[in-house]
Structure 1
């Protein structure tokens, strides 16, 4: 499966859902299963009634959201049901005119994007219609301040590299991006979304539900001027030819000691599968942290490098905290009391049962994870039997500090502890940032992504067989970090986030 950066499969970004209880039904797992499922090749599809496909799948999405999404029972989200109804009505209206795959695909994406939830998404099996694009001869990127700057340009575009987009057809740069890309992926107010999808703002991917752009005002070193855009076919291999979405170098899960004694711990994933290669590498690093804990605590600095980490299981960050700060860390800085509310539905219950049966078949589930599944399944079963539409798990009396007893030693590292993040940090990665900063670590680098309070993903396959929707099953009340709230760095790095050597030098400058 390729992420949005690959442009050839489901267009949602590869993310993973965190699970504080340890179930680990990840968003990345959902998209991996989506692309690997039916093996559908749309180019070989017989002629379809695309209007009927849209009506059928929009109805299925509407029903699944109404019947199983926790937003429907969240008193703090009073507009949720209204969004579902209005977007469903809009999809049905669009179905009356739909006569192509693009009409169907973009209508479904706009439907789920309206909820502004990175864990509620839609993707299709096989290729998507945005592989063929038109462009005005230049590509833009978000400037980090809700603006757009030209990063690549052909001479025929009439727009130089470095030019800033002031407005297009009477809309400012932020509104242009929100109208064209925010409508498709949601959450355009987040710097992480704009950084990820900014290069698509000035591309025409065939979305019939966004307004075309005719003329833009650009600001250059010579002043501002109006430019009429010349839209041309991008041609085969456009994304790769212009390196629209540069792929970051592969980062290893490893701990290393720098010349100045700083420990650099690279954690590009919190893969929830302990049997995977990533899981085994994470286990190795955990062992190294435990074995060298004294040296780490005496080091001038420790850097937890979370670049590229889209999440997985939050159990890893908790284990790392135990290894560095000690078991007493959870009593010293307990998580604020938080209530967990599951949406009690037969669909959510069956999803948990299926996931448990699949993961338990090889006998490799940990004791804690197995207990979590059994407890969650029993809780939903009881709620449904009682006719309840939710199962509420109240916070523990100790506020999440954990049980007393055992070794509750706490160790405070002598040097600085930095958490290095970029815009891809989501879900369980955010949980790690939350936990480690409560323990005294300093967030640095770039503003993270953000997640809503809706968690624990399952997939809902559409009746057309064309694709699948991701659907959260529970929500949190009282989470310290707010709904769609990112973590802003105490120190921002404005250089190339893929340049590790430059980042190491920058970290050293923070110690001076």
Structure 2
């Protein structure tokens, strides 16, 4: 009865808004929902989920888009309520404030959604408010067609500087190195804070985030869709003491997107000079690894002589994945001297149905990738069993410590002689999540040296599950929380030696690193 009423009411409301020519909702239910207590809110939202089957079709009306956006927003909040550890922990005031207040703000946007990108933008507005890189939503089927204004600016040494400028552009462009002063009358930081960050990532204190946000000043990237459809019309630059305004000429092109992941080497080891070794550790995502790539890399590390002088772990391009891979790489080198971190910290998991299903999916994928002999497959299966039993015993709202798992989450390190030389960690500003766990581990080796760029950062909530939303969007939600971790939430790791050049220029970087050893 309730569901039927919802569908009829929203259908009448959609027809009325279509005939009136605007997308504002007069349906009293839509305005009532944010003010309801969470248990009642869950019941009322169920009617919106019925509308999520509406497709992202090119001929959908504005009212259809707003209905889909409302349904996706409701489902996104429900995923957080069902699976996020903060809901069970109850002590994170900022999270528990935003989960309701942020929904209220995002719902007002969702009611005005007039196209598919604005559906995504409305949900992203909500999730970005948690200021957590592990809470995110994206469109896995986003178009690859990008628009570029012919130049790209990034935050460099306290200024917005042009780092890339096209040749042969139809209109005059600022030169490389020019300082960006303003776009459409707003300072770059103001434009980003107003039009970009709320729909992508609000952690503007991190340089990795600033780089990503700054791309959207002069690039339009479907995977990072924002609410406004209008692009900046003109921007002002300073170069050689002169200030000049340029009208932006937008063209279909992806040349302005600055990516560190192009042509990455395979995971593994290569000699670097005399008695030194360079270990590539670019990413820990099993889905992106070639068959046996990680296993071959670990075998190669096991062959590094224990008496070598220097080993460099190159984590450029690594923004996370499975922390087990990072542990296995270091353990293959350090053997019995592998550090044991966080003895005073504990990881607590929320045993939700979402988490149980997610680990079952991970186990199937790892079994297909590496077979039943895979260490990672065994550990994933153990975690699935642990969470399933906790879910059945205490329900989804009682956090459980993974210290209760029989044996360590990590396997014992290999036998053999430990490496005795100098360990160097090389990071870029995109190092996050499992890359940060790996960095913590490497830097715990006595005498380890950290070089490169300051890392990104993460919150105390980690280990995401990915949930499919009805429209095809996907949402990431953390499953565990660290209590007592030494590295603070959203705190980057700062190298002892910062590299000021192009972090992707390996020959220059190696020449710079030589005298530091």
Same fold, TM exceeding 0.5? Answer: yes
Partner of 1:269: 283
Cα shift readout 1:456-488 (whole Å, capped 9, x = no counterpart):
22222222x231211111111122222122211
For the 8 Å contact 1:249–1:498, the answer to whether it is kept is no
Correspondences of 1:129-278 after superposition (within 5 Å): 131=145, 133=147, 135=149, 138-145=151-158, 147-149=160-162, 151-152=164-165, 156=171, 159-168=174-183, 171-186=186-201, 187-203=203-219, 207-209=226-228, 218-223=237-242, 225=243, 227=245, 230-232=247-249, 234-236=250-252, 238-240=253-255, 242=256, 245=259, 248-272=262-286, 278=290
Q: CA deviation at 1:210?
A: 8.7
Equivalent-residue separation in structure 1 for 2:227 and 2:285 (angstroms): 37
1:367 offset after TM fit, Å? 5.8
1:452 paired residue number: 459
> 2-side partners of 1:286 and 1:360: how far apart?
19
* Aligned residues of 2:204 and 2:210 also touching (Cα < 8 A): yes
Q: Does 1:391 align with 2:408?
A: no
Measured after TM superposition, the shift of residue 111 of structure 1 is 1.9
In structure 2, the residue matched to 1:349 is: 356
Q: 1:96 to 1:134 in 2, by over 3 A?
A: farther
TM-score normalised to structure 1 length: 0.77
Mapped partners of 2:265, 2:146: distance in 1: 31
Distance, in Å, in 1 between the alignment partners of 2:278 and 2:336 is 22
1:338 aligns with 2:345: yes
Shift in alpha-carbon separation, 1:173–1:328, aligned structure 2, 3 A: same
SS of 2:265's partner is coil
Classify 1:262/1:450 alpha carbon distance in 2 versus 1 (closer, same or farther; 3 Å). Answer: same
Distance 1:214 1:174 in 2: 17
Q: Does residue 1:472 correspond to 2:478, yes or no?
A: yes
CA distance in 1, matches of 2:234, 2:507: 41
TM-score by length of 2: 0.76
Deviations 1:218-251 (A, max 9, x none): 432224x463x5244x233x223x5655763331
Cα pair distance change 1:65/1:401, threshold 3 Å: closer
Q: Is the 8 A contact 2:304 2:333 kept in 1?
A: no
Distance 1:162 1:391, change over 3 A: same
**Relative contact order, higher structure (CA 8 A, sep 6+):** 1
Q: Structure 1 residues 444 and 101, CA, compared in 2 at 3 Å: closer, same or farther? A: same
8 A contact 1:307–1:425 mirrored in 2: yes
| Structure with larger Rg | 2
Conserved? CA contact 1:177–1:188, under 8 Å? no
1:91-116 residue CA offsets vs partner (Å, 9 max, x unmatched): 32123322211221221222222222
The secondary structure found in structure 1 opposite 2:165 is strand
Give the gaps of 5 or more residues in structure 2: 1-53
Deviation at 1:434? 0.6
Change (3 A) 1:328 1:201: same
Partners of 2:268 and 2:390 in 1: how far apart?
44
What's the CA shift for 1:252?
A: 2.2
Helix, strand or coil: the match of 1:178? helix
Distance between the aligned counterparts of 2:429 and 2:438, measured in 1? 15
Is the 2:234–2:248 Cα contact (8 Å) retained in structure 1? no
Structure 1 position 278, deviation (Å) = 4.1
Structure 1: stretches of 5+ with no match in the other structure: 1-39
Structure 2 Cα separation of the partners of residues 312 and 244 of structure 1:
21
Matched residues in 2 for 1:263 and 1:485: separation?
Answer: 30
Native 8 Å contact 2:161 2:177 kept in 1: no
- Whether 1:329 aligns to 2:338 is yes
Given candidates 95, 106, 123, the residue that maps to 1:108 is: 123
Contact 1:239/1:245 (8 A) holds in 2: no
Q: What is the DSSP-based 3-state SS (H/G/I as helix, E as strand, rest coil) of the residue aligned with 2:93?
A: coil
Separation (CA, whole Å) in 1 of partners of 2:260 and 2:383: 43
The whole-number CA distance in structure 1 between the counterparts of 2:262 and 2:380 is 35
Out of 493-502 and 202-211, give the one that drifted further: 202-211
Separation (CA, whole Å) in 1 of partners of 2:294 and 2:97:
43
Structure with the largest fraction of helix: 2
Conserved 8 A contact 1:339-1:476: yes
SS of the residue 1:201 aligns to: helix
Aligned with 2:323 (options 314, 321, 325): 314
How much has 1:438 moved relative to structure 2? 0.7
| SS of aligned partner of 1:390 | coil
* Aligned counterpart, 2:295: 283
Deviation (angstroms), 1:335: 3.0
The reply to whether residue 431 of structure 1 matches residue 437 of structure 2 is yes
CA, structure 1 residues 409+469, in 2 after alignment: closer, same or farther (shift >3 Å)? same
